[in-house]
Amino acid sequence: MNADFKTIALVGKFNSPGCSSSLLRLADFLRGRGHAVMISVHTADICEIRGFEVATLNEIGAVADLAIVMGGDGTLLNIARTLVDHRVPLIGVNQGRLGFLADVSIDTMFTTLEEMLSGRYVVEDRILLEASVERHEDVLIASYAFNDVVVSKSSTGRLIEFEVYIDNQFVYSQRADGLVVASPTGSTAYALSSGGPILHPTLEAVVMVPICPHTLSARPIAVNSRSEIEINLIHADDGRVHFDGQRHADLKIGDRVVINRAHNTIRLLHPEGHNYYDTLRQKLHWGEKL
């Protein structure tokens, strides 16, 4: 596979001032290979990087052939939502432990990136969710979510009550702490800790997982990713909707949260030989002796 990444953007973890050394070394490495290098505005400011072109994320989306995100899965989630409509492929460099998304180790990033930028990489397209909150006839907020959309109680600690529809067909009413609607990517996040199944990232499916439901019969449901999911809030003292745990909006009784698959997908680039099951085994400690 030929790699033709003429312009490469670098984005670092927004609240990590200690990133400057690694990012600067990476920027010099890329420029040494003949790539044009752009640094996101926030990254350049926080890491105090000078001597490279600085651009907003929208400007990066319009120009860059590739974005390398340094930080962790949370950072990559945020950048992915911003760049999805620009169709910029992403590589995640993890500054900590191996991530589900950011799977290039900072300890080996130069060797790994040399191989990937020479064309030795695996392409993976992942679906994204888009959701809106509707109150009467008004759309209060609309947002992408790479991992999940979560309707839940907020600070009062009391159960909420909601109805769920799939493609305009009534599914159930539920009293619970909330409901997680997760993409295959998000199936290993909040949905997993709530008892949901693991979906392979390439599946065309979305999973709905109740959070602490007030019934023993509630079970996760996987539906076609082309389905429209609607959650109507029936009762709540303090309801809220979260998008990837990074954006949120307060809900009132009668609000509708409508969730669909986004038109575009996120394109992730992995090192050659990438194996999703290896990642699962390492992250979830499968097979380890207690």
State how far the Cα of 126 lies from the Cα of 134, in Å rounded to an integer.
26
| Contact (CB, 8 A) for 238 and 155 | yes
Q: Is 73 annotated as catalytic?
A: yes
**Torsions phi, psi of 27, nearest 5?**
-60, -45
284: helix, strand or coil: helix
> Does residue 280 contact residue 188 with C-beta atoms inside 8 Å?
yes
Residue 249 makes CB contacts below 8 A (sequence gap 6+) with: 133, 140, 141, 240, 241
> End-to-end CA distance of the chain, in Å?
42
Give the C-alpha separation, 204 to 126, whole Å. 9
Q: What is the DSSP letter of 186?
A: G
Residues contacting residue 61 through CB under 8 Å, at least 6 positions apart? 82, 83, 85, 86, 88
Which residue(s) pair with 36 in the sheet? 7
Phi, psi of 110 (to 5 degrees): -70, -45
Q: 153 and 239 in contact (C-beta within 8 Å)?
A: yes
User: What are the backbone angles phi and psi of residue 127, rounded to the nearest 5°?
Assistant: -75, 155
C-alpha distance from residue 107 to each of 19, 26, 113, 259 (Å) = 14, 12, 11, 39
The residue from 4, 45, 65, 73 that is catalytic is 73
The answer to whether 73 and 98 have CB atoms below 8 angstroms apart is no
Q: Which residues are catalytic?
A: 73
